[in-house]
Amino acid sequence: MAEIPGEQPGHALIFGSGSIGDGCLVRIHSRCLYGDALESDDCDCGPELTLSMDMIHAERGGVLIYLEQEGRGAGLSSKARGYRLSQNENLDTFASFERLGYDPDSRHYRDAAITLKALGLTTVRLLTNNPDKIAHLTGEGLCVQHVPLLTVPRSRRARRYLTAKRERRGHALPRTWWLCRIADGLLAAVFVGVASIVGAGLADGLAGVTGLAHHGSLSAAAALLVGHLGWSRTRLLRARFRLFCSGVSGLRLT
Ligand SMILES: [Zn+2]
């Protein structure tokens, strides 16, 4: 881990046992106490961070740059005021920030770019939906390959937040979310089927070892256990499937 000094301080966390190299996955994440730590349904910060870490771990290496800039660069209190104004006045968060006198997005990524270059990177695969972030890094001399992050909004408020990001800031996000939900539903159905088969097998094995009669409830309990243990491990698979479905459907992500 390395500290990032400067106007937008933060930390660079380097993952992987070997040294990282050009083309590694990079996530530049602006701190969001509500989304990252409190799992707020108002934004997609938490799911984006989780999915980024899943993807970095799946490749056994990458960089997470966590910047101490929040509320689109205006601070935690202003972010809370922005959310409250959005809810009370039925505004999207960009409009509420403008109403409060803030820039819609005053975040900067120069120090992040300097840090990436100091790590010896000239080309990065950037986990983001934000074209501004790509432009900032490119402007600092880095070659950036875009890797989209497709999360499913956890509430109607989050869906509205993501829609505002797409319409007002050009974020690469779907115009509709139903396809993502269908993709998630399909994978959930497959997962339930597999868990039921594995659970029934486990119950059979247990009945054979213990000499107890095989009850259906034992199979159901084993399936629930398999499902509970395995479902969280399919997050990355589900995200990739959502992206695949969005791609083959011809739906534009911008
Ligand atoms: Zn957030």
pLDDT in tens, 204-249: 787 777 776 666 777 777 777 777 777 777 788 888 887 777 766 5
Same-domain status, 131 and 158:
yes
Same-domain status, 120 and 57:
yes
Q: Which of 171, 197, 217 is the last residue of a domain?
A: 171
Confidence of residue 22 (pLDDT cuts 50, 70, 90): very high
CA–centroid distance, 221 to ligand 1, in Å, is 37
CA–centroid distance, 160 to ligand 1, in Å, is 13
Same-domain status, 55 and 129:
yes
Q: Kindly report, residue by residue over 80-100, the tens digit of the pLDDT.
A: 888 888 888 888 888 888 888
CA–centroid distance, 51 to ligand 1, in Å, is 14
CA–centroid distance, 32 to ligand 1, in Å, is 5
CA distance 245 to 14: 31
Residue positions annotated with a catalytic role: 105, 107
CA–centroid distance, 204 to ligand 1, in Å, is 46
Same-domain status, 184 and 63:
no
Q: Is residue 61 part of a domain?
A: yes
Q: Which of 171, 187, 205 is the last residue of a domain?
A: 171
Q: Between 2 and 60, whose confidence is greater?
A: 60
CA–centroid distance, 143 to ligand 1, in Å, is 27
Same-domain status, 163 and 202:
no
Q: Which of 130, 151, 171 is the last residue of a domain?
A: 171
Burial grade of 227 (CB within 10 A; 0-12, 13-18, 19 or more): middle
Same-domain status, 57 and 123:
yes
Q: Is residue 92 part of a domain?
A: no
Percent pLDDT > 90 in the chain is 28
pLDDT of residue 214: 63
CA distance 60 to 218: 37
pLDDT of residue 224: 78
pLDDT of residue 230: 76
CB-based contact 73:106 (threshold 8 Å): yes
Same-domain status, 59 and 121:
yes
Tell me the whole-structure pTM to 2 decimals.
Answer: 0.79
pLDDT of residue 254: 40
| Domain region containing 217 | 179-248
pLDDT of residue 253: 46
Q: Kindly report, residue by residue over 26-72, the tens digit of the pLDDT.
A: 999 999 888 899 888 888 899 999 999 999 998 889 999 999 887 66
Same-domain status, 221 and 191:
yes
Same-domain status, 49 and 158:
yes
Which CATH number do you get for residue 119?
3.40.50.10990
42: three-class secondary structure by DSSP = coil
What is the enclosing helix (H) or strand (E) of 2?
Answer: strand 2-4
Domain count, the chain: 2
CA–centroid distance, 29 to ligand 1, in Å, is 10
Q: Is residue 204 part of a domain?
A: yes
Residue 79 phi, psi (nearest 5): -65, -45
Residue range 149-155: mean pLDDT, rounded = 84
Q: Kindly report, residue by residue over 164-187, the tens digit of the pLDDT.
A: 888 888 888 777 677 777 777 888
CA distance 22 to 63: 11
Same-domain status, 139 and 16:
yes
Same-domain status, 184 and 243:
yes
Same-domain status, 115 and 206:
no
CA–centroid distance, 71 to ligand 1, in Å, is 8
H-only helix segments in the chain: 45-58, 76-89, 93-99, 110-118, 131-139, 156-169, 178-210, 216-231, 235-248
Q: Is residue 111 part of a domain?
A: yes
CB-based contact 30:91 (threshold 8 Å): no
Q: Is residue 185 part of a domain?
A: yes
Q: Is residue 100 part of a domain?
A: no
**154-168: b (≥16 Cβ within 10 Å) or e:** beebbebbbbbbbee
Confidence of residue 73 (pLDDT cuts 50, 70, 90): low
